Amino acid sequence: MYKYFGTMADMGVIAEGETLEEAFREAARALTDLMVDINTVERKVRKKITVKSEDLYSLLYDFLTEILIIRDSEGIVFSDFDIKIERDKENDGYSLECIAYGEELNRKKHTPKEEVKAITYHKMEIEEKDGRYTIKYIVDI
């Protein structure tokens, strides 16, 4: 589940999940749904995304930024994500491996919604409470 909250030139996202991976998945799905109607994006393309970062906040930022980079450089939008997150004890950080499913962006099929320019660290939160994970982040639109 995900929902949005508004600010001046930004949009906030709240994503929830039973696991950290599920919350990251919902955060990524919310990002796509901000840009185009996610229900119109089919699973025609499969793309591997790998991110390593020093903490969970950087991992989320880097992962979501990679989704924007793929949209801008390859013209692909995603509708679903299989995510695995592991603690990298050797390097004192985290790694994320994801298979993202989507298709090439087609402006006739995928009606543009918001133009997401960037992910921000501003007011970013990743919280675990009572066995549920909640992620909050803000995008620059």
Q: What is the predicted pLDDT for the residue at 7?
A: 63
Q: Which of 43, 37, 54 is nearest to 111 (CA)?
A: 37
pLDDT tens track for 124-133: 999 999 999 9
CA distances, 85 to each of 10, 20, 23, 38, 95 (Å): 28, 8, 11, 24, 6
pTM to 2 decimals? 0.92
Q: What is the predicted pLDDT for the residue at 4?
A: 72
Residue list for the binding site for Ca(2+): 10, 140-141
| Mean pLDDT computed over every residue of the chain | 94
Q: What is the predicted pLDDT for the residue at 15?
A: 98
Q: Which CATH number fits domain 2-140: 3.40.1030.10, 1.10.238.10, 3.55.10.10, 3.30.2130.10?
A: 3.55.10.10
pLDDT(82) > 70: yes
pLDDT tens track for 105-120: 999 999 899 899 999 9
Alpha helices in the chain (DSSP H): 20-35, 56-74
Residue list for the binding site: 10, 140-141
Residues 94, 16: Cα–Cα separation, whole Å: 20
pLDDT category of residue 48 using cuts at 50, 70 and 90: very high
pLDDT tens track for 92-108: 899 999 999 999 999 99
